[in-house]
């Protein structure tokens, strides 16, 4: 199947980055759809800012920036966006009911052979696929933040996803300049979060038990395990509320060994969510 037109549903944190990669690296025509003009404008501003950084570094020319922008078509009209799309990548908020509603609506306007993928980090692919009439053409396509820089895409097979669909998404992933990892079973957390979330939870436990300072915990993991960033800094970047949501899905699906540390819940209740709220394990207000 030849991919020419890609649709990204959602212009937020992940959606705008996926749009940029699809237009910049893969050179696809990309329709970026959201429900409010301000979301679209904000997404386009973030794409522009990112491209200007590449320009300043001398990594692309003004003409290349304009070519990339000419391939991006922001829209509020779902029907117009998806009607002749080859692949649709859903990147709306991480809430199963909202995702299923958007997916069902998109599915109703889409040609029969189009592939639909969800950029979920924790929700069951089989459950999301059930909102569409094409579970065999539905898969997970989990990008990492920021999509412009992170090389990995986890491709997740739902209960009914065909091998042909997985192969097409692997090709699309490579065309976008990314590295695919195929997750053969639809399990909570896929590969990365299955390993990462317990590690982050343990780091929170060390703070809760006052074993070492957040700075020293981060230093130990950076120097001892060669992580580019310590676990508590990473938590502040990801958002403690997002981490708690993923932890709760894994706890429910995989059992109590994935249970959130009480300190994580306390911090979320107190609005200490990390960078986005100004404070988490570190103070980001300065």
- What are the tokens at 265? 């819940």
H helix intervals, the chain: 13-24, 37-56, 62-70, 78-82, 96-109, 125-129, 163-175, 192-208, 214-225, 231-238, 240-254, 262-269
CA 41 to chain centre: 20
Catalytic residue, candidates 90, 142, 201, 277: 142
Sheet holding 138-143, edge to edge: 72-75, 29-33, 5-9, 87-90, 115-118, 138-143, 152-157, 179-183
CB 7, CB 30: distance < 8 Å: yes
Return the CA Rg of the chain: 19
The number of beta carbons lying within 10 Å of the beta carbon of residue 69 is 15
Catalytic residue, candidates 118, 154, 261, 277: 154
> Is 215 part of the annotated catalytic residue set?
no
- Output phi, psi for 23, to 5 deg: -80, -40
Catalytic residue, candidates 193, 201, 261, 277: 193
> Is 59 part of the annotated catalytic residue set?
no
Question: DSSP class of residue 277?
Answer: G
> Is 208 part of the annotated catalytic residue set?
no
> Is 142 part of the annotated catalytic residue set?
yes
Cα torsion angle, 69, 155, 259, 223, sign: negative
Q: Enumerate the β-bridge partners of residue 118.
A: 90, 140
Catalytic residue, candidates 118, 119, 121, 201: 121
* Active site positions, annotated: 121, 142, 154, 193
């Amino acid at each position: 199947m030849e991919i020419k037109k890609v649709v990204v549903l959602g212009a937020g944190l992940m959606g705008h980055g996926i749009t940029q990669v699809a237009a910049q690296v893969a050179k696809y025509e990309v329709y970026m759809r959201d429900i409010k003009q301000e979301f679209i404008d904000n997404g386009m501003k973030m794409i522009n800012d990112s491209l200007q950084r590449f320009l300043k570094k001398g990594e692309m020319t003004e003409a290349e920036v304009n070519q990339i922008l000419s391939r991006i078509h922001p829209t509020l009209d779902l029907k117009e966006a998806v009607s002749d799309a080859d692949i649709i990548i859903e990147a709306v908020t991480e809430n199963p009911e909202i995702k299923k509603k958007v997916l069902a609506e998109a599915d109703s306007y889409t040609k029969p052979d189009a592939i639909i993928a969800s950029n979920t980090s924790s929700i069951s692919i089989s459950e999301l696929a059930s909102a569409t009439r094409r579970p065999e053409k539905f898969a997970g396509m989990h990008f990492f933040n920021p999509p412009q820089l992170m090389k990995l895409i986890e491709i997740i097979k739902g209960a009914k996803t065909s091998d042909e669909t997985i192969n097409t998404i692997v090709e699309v992933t490579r065309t976008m300049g990314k590295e695919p990892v195929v997750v053969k079973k639809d399990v909570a957390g896929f590969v990365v979060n299955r390993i990462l979330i317990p590690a982050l939870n343990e780091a929170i436990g060390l703070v809760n038990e006052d074993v070492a300072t957040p700075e020293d915990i981060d230093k130990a993991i950076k120097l001892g395990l060669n992580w580019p960033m310590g676990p508590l800094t990473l938590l502040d970047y990801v958002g403690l509320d997002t981490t708690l949501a993923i932890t709760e899905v894994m706890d429910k699906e995989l059992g109590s060994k994935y249970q959130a540390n009480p300190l994580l819940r306390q911090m979320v209740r107190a609005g200490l969510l990390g960078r986005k709220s100004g404070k988490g394990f570190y103070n980001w207000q300065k």
